Amino acid sequence: MLSSTSSRACPKSHSMAVRVAAMLGRRLLLQLLLLAAAFDAYDGAGHSPNISRGSFPEGFIFGTASSAYQYEGAVKEGGRGPSIWDTFTHQHPEKIVDGSNGDVAVDSYHLYKEDVRVMKDMGMDAYRFSISWTRILPNGSLNGGVNREGVRYYNNLIDELLLKGAQPFVTLFHWDSPQALEDKYGGFLSPNIINDYKDYAEVCFNEFGDRVKHWITFNEPWTFCSSGYALGTSAPGRCSPWELGKCSAGDSGTEPYTVCHHQLLAHAETVRLYKEKYQAAQKGDIGITLVSHWFVPFSRSKSNDDAARRAIDFMLGWFMDPLTKGDYPLSMRALVGNRLPQFTKEQSELVKGAFDFIGINYYTTNYADNLPPSNGLNVTYNTDARANLTGFRNGVPIGPQAASSWLFVYPRGFRELLLYVKETYGNPTVYITENGIDEANNKSLSLQQALKDDARIEYYHKHLVALQSAISDGANVKGYFAWSLLDNFEWGNGYTVRFGIYFVDYNDSLKRYPKSSAHWFTEFLKKA
């Protein structure tokens, strides 16, 4: 530190120091302003910077995503057996907003060639779709035989994609468990399903693995377990009787953990099978898709900081901790206790590192507010994290609200989540396997009005800016899939919301029309 006399000893050097300090101060201020502008760009304020395919690394993959039950229809055609979603929508239409189902969906079973064409017209590189387990094994297991007609359908789809220059990214399970296995032993409540799932996966590796180079074992186990077994609002509709779904059977405090435990083990067994028997010859990769929100403390306090950390442990860490460390997060072990299954030493070693890549689905961010311990009477996964999750603070939303009540636009959370994964889990290879926004299915709009989806363009633009920023900061992301190519059956919302880049006319033969966002993507994806 300079003494009080040293600065007076040389007035010239002192004035130069002042000028340098002022210049550095202005430069720092400019950098801070630029940084603030960048944050504004993907938080909804100001104007987004220009971004295009060229803003991303060489070889970065862009695609769209779908799933079998939401797209295919033809539920009784081609030898397909029933899934739990067939049963759920027909037995409990009251749990679907418009009482609808996926019997026809958007008929991709018959219209897949058109869907591949419109996707390639935009310039997409890849298509993520799921295989219907019961279209391959109608009763869920090998003893019922392989349905060759189902195999033929997926061969045709894969071949059409490759013919048009699109890579298939194949999800093996997107929530549509075989009803036969649900009836036989309770589906994923039973460890018996691990071998049946592995057998199903092996049929797929044998039939399609010569052309499929990216396999995803499970889509969003968190959603399947929490909505299907804690809330009871999704298939198979199990929960404690006092929960939201008012279920006739289930236990919201134990079954979600049991089911996800079995999915993790089925995933790990299947990854081992693929790596030991198929990977060397087929030269593909295998991973799992996880969904996570980002969580912002409701207020600046240690208790709410802790609540936000617990929230992400109970949503993302539930799976990423076992996959990278061999066990569930310490917060889950502490709060769930003996309701949380244990891994044996062999299982822990099997699960740890069981992936080539991680798929991440990001849509939204919530505030996390600390909850005091429950009274222990109504035990449920939904309060085990002791975090109240909300999109509002003092009546103000965290970001613009979409048609789905849970979806708030908060692009900054996308970047924060990806950097959290980088720092917490060793920077794994990541594909963004879903990201998107919906609008209400407003039947009073003309077709021309319905195709104008400026909010979707803004959502994608700002999330892609956030993604590019995360990649610049070292996040190891290799691809991005928009949800979704088409409007479709959106689970509990039925057909009341639209997530598509393409509009589907449900009143006129399911015709497809490009929305404004499809034209935007076409421009975005143009190669220099």
Show which residues are catalytic: 220, 434
Cβ atoms of 427 and 474 closer than 8 Å: yes
For 278-317, where are the alpha helices, taking DSSP H only? Answer: 279-282, 302-312
What burial class does residue 294 get, using C-beta atoms within 10 Å of its C-beta: 0-12 exposed, 13-18 middle, 19+ buried? buried
C-alpha pair distances (Å), 188 with each of 30, 197, 270, 316, 503: 55, 10, 15, 20, 35
Closest CA to 398 of 413, 383, 387, 379: 413
**Nearest C-alpha neighbor of 453 from the set 395, 513, 505, 501:** 501
- Give CA angle at 294 (292, 435), nearest 5°: 55
Q: Which residues is 58 bridged to in the sheet?
A: none
Handedness of CA 177, 92, 492, 244 (dihedral sign): negative
Helix (H, G, I), strand (E, B) or coil at 498: strand
CA dist 463 → 244, 309, 497 (Å): 32, 23, 21
**HSE-CB of 116 using CA atoms within 13 angstroms:** 20
Rounded distance, CA 59 to CA 37, Å?
A: 28
Which residues, 6 or more positions from 280, have their beta carbon under 8 angstroms from its beta carbon?
A: none
Whether the CB-CB separation of 353 and 424 falls below 8 Å is answered with: no
Position of tokens 């033969």?
509
Amino acid at site 191 = P
Lookup: tokens for 279: 């990977």
Element (H, E) at 347: helix 345-351
* Proportion of the chain in helix, strand, coil states, percent, rounded to 5: 45, 15, 40
Residue 271 is inside which H or E element, if any? helix 255-277
* Structure tokens belonging to residue 390: 């909300």
Nearest CA among 478, 199, 198, 209 for reference residue 354: 198
Adjacent-strand bridge partners of 170: 129, 215
Residue with tokens 């991005």: 480
- Output the DSSP codes for 88-118: HHHH-GGGSTTS--SSSTT-HHHHHHHHHHH
